[in-house]
Chain A
Amino acid sequence: MLLSGFDFLGLDRFLSDEEKLVRETVRRFVKNEVSPIIEHCYEQGQFPTELVSKLGKLEILGANLPEKYGCAGMNSLSYGLIMQELEAGDSGIRSFASVQGALCMYPIFAFGSEEQRVKYLPSMATGKTIGCFGLTEPNQGSDPGEMLTRAKKVSDGWVINGSKSWITNGAIADIAIVWARVEGDDVRGFIIEKGTPGFTATETKHKLSLRASITSELFFQDCRISDENILPNAKGLKGPLMCLTQARYGIAWGVIGAAMSCLEVALNYARERVQFGRAIAAFQLTQEKLVSAFVEITKAQLLNHQLAKLKDEGYLKPVQVSMAKLNNVAIALNCARVCRSILGANGIMGEYGIMRHMCNLESVYTYEGTHEIHTLILGNYLTGFDAFR
């Protein structure tokens, strides 16, 4: 059974030739370029930097932004399919693309000046300029409004002080999109270039998840930047939250790629592994596990396809993305765990990839809005009561 075999409800029938071709191209890329190296990268705790220019050449980075800025101008369905295929390889690779596209290129496109767009987007689309996104802080995760990072207006620009943590791509980034509170005013976004005095990034080591991805801490100590480096059209938390909605949309698609990858491995294994004289796939308990994963993946696919339609037609609401992020990550994580159990002891081995996906998904469950916070967003939508505070 192949990933393509998990199209139980015939969603492929509604894909255009171009959308299918996008998926096939990225699938082939992952098979040829990611799968052969990812286990080693994961074990070594290394991000495969050599893939960055290849992702750029394929025009995957910021793929849904306009061609005018050197991007591919893909629709939301194609963008989702790209994320699905990348994460079928590894969440770390998808995370790189999500951060670059949805969290760095998107805010420059949506909130930046035309000069900023022209300066950064074409070079970010090729992977020549790598971005990172700084919102979370050591003491502010789910409650970014309480951030401590401050921006102070001075005569020739801004001075930034503070720190950001859990920043994907941080240590390899050429630019950071940093959100800081202007004293006595709103949260604003700034583009801070690598090498700016007062800006340092250190890698967060000893992770047991997303090991093929770079996570960092960013520090700003009297970091002076010019007026040209502020994103002129983002004021308040709405700016970063809009970026996160973009990224969460990609996550909802991506994690299903990881889940499909786990199910494919488990299904093949269950058909071949013989115990008590027959394939373990013939036992009812194994079938229940496989079917539960299959059913959940199929439902999540429907959710993703509907989200893509809404997004392209301009009707997508952040709360709908919350449901998809909440549901899809949870079921993907559960699929990975269940599939791991089907492989028994072999399930913990790197060569099968399931444990890697499972460990990655533990991070995805928490990042970009925790499962719990998305639950409360939906709770607020449903009941009218805000349970955050």
Chain B
Amino acid sequence: MKICVCLKQVPKKDSILRIAQDQKWIDERDISYEMSEADAYALEEALRQKEAHGGEVIVISMGPERTRQSIKEALAKGADRAIHLDDPIFEQATDAAGIGRAIAAALKDEGCDLIMTGLQSDDHGFGQVGLIIAERLGMSSATIVMEVQIETGSVRVKRELESGWFQWVRVPTPAVLTIQSGINQLRYATLKGIMSAKKKELREVKAADLNLTADDLKPLQSIERAYVPEKSKQTEFIEGKPAEIAARLVEKLRFDARVF
């Protein structure tokens, strides 16, 4: 079983975020980064499947040099090798289409049985990259996966639906699964694992290696403005005697809120 895990490095959850001056994204100075949470669960699931069924776990990530920190963490936890898409041209790929296209191109010849990603990243939260990769590589796919059972020629997965409902589906392999956070318990990298990660293959891939140009990765979607949510609602205090307050509240609920 060859499993590839797509990792994204995102600002740490407890970072203090400031909007950049051009109001297109956050100010990335003085920010620490970490592996996106759902991707960490995808990695854990891949490692567990490898431990149960044998095979290989490859991690792939796209981003600047700092991304290596998260890649090395994955290698330290037990991934066998890594692919790092590191090229200024890849910085063009700021939407799901571009990211999906680049990753699909890098994985085209890998012959993976499964590709796992987090169901969405903690920063952009597109939730589409996994599906775009599946589409471009002609693989089947399942989203919001809570449990994975490997079968011969297929994989049986439990998907999370709305309102506490779940669905079991059988998906033919090769397949892309987008993994929900919390489906397993994350392991810690061991210290020896961290040291041995240095010796594992970390292949750097440039856009030219994939025959991709800046034009190919031009975003189809862009951020118009990033801003801190603005307060647009005001609390109204009703004053007066209890009977008057009650009558006014009923009026508000009936005519403004229209709850009855």
User: Are A18 and B197 in touch, CB under 8 angstroms?
Assistant: yes
Note all chain A residues with C-beta closer than 8 A to B190.
57-59, 72
Asked, given contacts A1-B16, A73-B195, whether A21 binds B32 with beta carbons under 8 Å apart, the answer is no
B198 at interface by CB-CB < 8 Å: yes
Shortest C-beta distance, A57 to chain B (Å), equals: 7
B73 at interface by CB-CB < 8 Å: yes
Q: Digitize B203-221: 1 where CB-to-A-CB distance is under 8 Å, 0 elsewhere.
A: 0000000000000000000
CB contact list, A154-187 vs B, under 8 A: none
User: Are A28 and B69 in touch, CB under 8 angstroms?
Assistant: no
Q: Which of B30, B72, B191 contacts A17 (CB 8 A)?
A: B72
A44 at interface by CB-CB < 8 Å: no
B237 at interface by CB-CB < 8 Å: no
Q: Digitize B171-185: 1 where CB-to-A-CB distance is under 8 Å, 0 elsewhere.
A: 000000000000000
Shortest C-beta distance, A109 to chain B (Å), equals: 17
Note all chain A residues with C-beta closer than 8 A to B73.
21, 24
Shortest C-beta distance, A357 to chain B (Å), equals: 20
Note all chain B residues with C-beta closer than 8 A to A28.
188
User: Are B195 and A74 in touch, CB under 8 angstroms?
Assistant: yes
Distance, CA A48 to CA B12, complexed state (A): 29
Main secondary structure of the interface of A (DSSP, over half): helix
Q: Which of B12, B188, B198 contacts A18 (CB 8 A)?
A: B198
Asked, given contacts A1-B16, A20-B69, whether A59 binds B32 with beta carbons under 8 Å apart, the answer is no
Distance, CA A22 to CA B15, complexed state (A): 20
Asked, given contacts A25-B194, A58-B188, whether A17 binds B16 with beta carbons under 8 Å apart, the answer is no
Shortest C-beta distance, B118 to chain A (Å), equals: 17
Note all chain B residues with C-beta closer than 8 A to A67.
192
User: Are A21 and B76 in touch, CB under 8 angstroms?
Assistant: yes
Q: Which of B12, B34, B68, B194 contacts A22 (CB 8 A)?
A: B194
Shortest C-beta distance, B191 to chain A (Å), equals: 4
Q: Digitize A1-45: 1 where CB-to-B-CB distance is under 8 Å, 0 elsewhere.
A: 110110000000000011011101100110000000000000000
Report how many residues on chain B are interfacial, defined by Cβ distance under 8 Å.
21
A234 at interface by CB-CB < 8 Å: no
Q: Digitize B54-69: 1 where CB-to-A-CB distance is under 8 Å, 0 elsewhere.
A: 0000000000000011
Asked, given contacts A17-B68, A17-B69, whether A59 binds B16 with beta carbons under 8 Å apart, the answer is no
Note all chain B residues with C-beta closer than 8 A to A231.
none
Distance, CA A366 to CA B218, complexed state (A): 63
B20 at interface by CB-CB < 8 Å: no
User: Are B191 and A22 in touch, CB under 8 angstroms?
Assistant: yes
Q: Which of A5, A24, A60 contacts B191 (CB 8 A)?
A: A60
User: Are B69 and A21 in touch, CB under 8 angstroms?
Assistant: yes
Distance, CA A60 to CA B193, complexed state (A): 12
Note all chain B residues with C-beta closer than 8 A to A22.
191, 194
Distance, CA A342 to CA B105, complexed state (A): 56
A105 at interface by CB-CB < 8 Å: no
A63 at interface by CB-CB < 8 Å: yes
User: Are A18 and B192 in touch, CB under 8 angstroms?
Assistant: no
Distance, CA A1 to CA B194, complexed state (A): 27
Note all chain A residues with C-beta closer than 8 A to B197.
18, 21
User: Are B192 and A21 in touch, CB under 8 angstroms?
Assistant: no
Asked, given contacts A1-B16, A18-B197, A18-B198, whether A58 binds B191 with beta carbons under 8 Å apart, the answer is yes
B239 at interface by CB-CB < 8 Å: no
User: Are B69 and A59 in touch, CB under 8 angstroms?
Assistant: no
CB nearest to A29 among chain B residues: B188
User: Are A18 and B194 in touch, CB under 8 angstroms?
Assistant: yes
Asked, given contacts A28-B188, A29-B188, A59-B191, whether A18 binds B72 with beta carbons under 8 Å apart, the answer is yes
Q: Given contacts A2-B12, A18-B197, A25-B189, list 11 more A-B pairs with CB under 8 A.
A: A2-B14, A2-B15, A17-B68, A18-B72, A18-B195, A21-B73, A21-B189, A25-B188, A58-B191, A72-B190, A72-B195
7 contacts between A and B (CB under 8 A): A17-B72, A18-B194, A20-B69, A21-B189, A58-B188, A59-B191, A59-B192
Q: A residues bordering B, Cβ < 8 Å?
A: 1-2, 4-5, 17-18, 20-22, 24-25, 28-29, 57-60, 63, 67, 72-74, 78
Q: B residues bordering A, Cβ < 8 Å?
A: 12, 14-16, 30, 32, 34, 68-69, 72-73, 76, 188-192, 194-195, 197-198
Please provide the 7 A-B residue pairs with the shortest distance between their CB atoms, ordered closest to farther: A72-B191, A59-B191, A59-B190, A21-B194, A25-B189, A17-B72, A4-B32
